Chains A and B, each alone.
Chain A
Amino acid sequence: DVKVTQSSRYLVKRTGEKVFLECVQDMDHENMFWYRQDPGLGLRLIYFSYDVKMKEKGDIPEGYSVSREKKERFSLILESASTNQTSMYLCASSLFLAGGNQPQHFGDGTRLSIL
């Protein structure tokens, strides 16, 4: 079974801090994704990556950056955390670009609170 592991289930940070959310997958998937989930808004794509050192902006990239130095790891960075970035963050991976006809495999999520 594919395992997607996010480094923290719950995280509390302060406004202005630089925040790192880590995600590791163990199935050699090319594609990795970062989403955020907010009540009433559904899953929204922040960034995705289809190869090492490659990244593409999703629907809401502002205030975020990503890093993919190794195939199995995809990091989401909040450069200067703000309260409107309080949310549930989900990482996912898949075999082909954007899943296509292959399902995405999700981590358990990180509930991030910015105070």
Chain B
Amino acid sequence: ILNVEQSPQSLHVQEGDSTNFTCSFPSSNFYALHWYRWETAKSPEALFVMTLNGDEKKKGRISATLNTKEGYSYLYIKGSQPEDSATYLCAFKSQAGTALIFGKGTTLSVSS
């Protein structure tokens, strides 16, 4: 059974702090790694889709890196703002799989 782990489960930071979370996934048969942001009362929104080892992607203050050989991805948020408060989900797709496998998410709370 393929497993996708996210850590930490939750964290609370102050406005202006930079933070990062981890997504761990199987390192064999890698195809793609997705990151989504899910704000309360809204729909999950795609942040990044990463396919190549060493990929780095950036969207505003949020960036992500990918290491397919060791099976992890980091999501970084620089200078956290209250509007960054959300649950961040990663999802893994293997070459053989037909569907995304989601982690349980990291819930970020940013206080002003």
Binding site for B on A (CB under 8 A): 4, 33, 35, 40-45, 48, 56, 58, 90, 92, 97-109
**Complex Cα–Cα for A4 and B31 (A):** 25
Contact with A along B61-98 (1 / 0, CB 8 A): 00000000000000000000000000001010100011
**Complex Cα–Cα for A58 and B97 (A):** 11
**Chain A residues with CB below 8 A from B97, complex form:** 98
Q: How large is the interface on B (under 10, 10 to 19, 20 to 34, 35 or more residues)?
A: 20 to 34
Residue of A nearest to B44 (CB): A106
Given A99-B93, A100-B32, A107-B43, residue A43 in contact with residue B49 (CB < 8 A): no
Q: Which 6 A-B pairs have the closest CB atoms?
A: A103-B46, A42-B104, A43-B102, A106-B43, A106-B44, A98-B99
Judge whether B89 and A100 touch: CB under 8 Å. Answer: no
Residue of A nearest to B47 (CB): A103
Judge whether A103 and B49 touch: CB under 8 Å. Answer: yes
Judge whether A105 and B102 touch: CB under 8 Å. Answer: no
Given A107-B43, A108-B42, residue A48 in contact with residue B99 (CB < 8 A): yes
Judge whether B49 and A102 touch: CB under 8 Å. Answer: yes
**Complex Cα–Cα for A40 and B102 (A):** 12
Looking at the complex, which one of A41, A98, A106 makes contact with B98 (CB distance below 8 Å)?
A: A98
**Complex Cα–Cα for A88 and B3 (A):** 22
| Of listed A90, A103, A107, A108, residue having the most chain B CB within 10 A | A103
**Complex Cα–Cα for A48 and B97 (A):** 13
Judge whether A42 and B31 touch: CB under 8 Å. Answer: no
**Chain A residues with CB below 8 A from B89, complex form:** 42-43
**Complex Cα–Cα for A98 and B32 (A):** 10
B56: min CB distance to chain A, Å: 16
**Complex Cα–Cα for A109 and B38 (A):** 11
**Chain A residues with CB below 8 A from B98, complex form:** 48, 56, 97-98
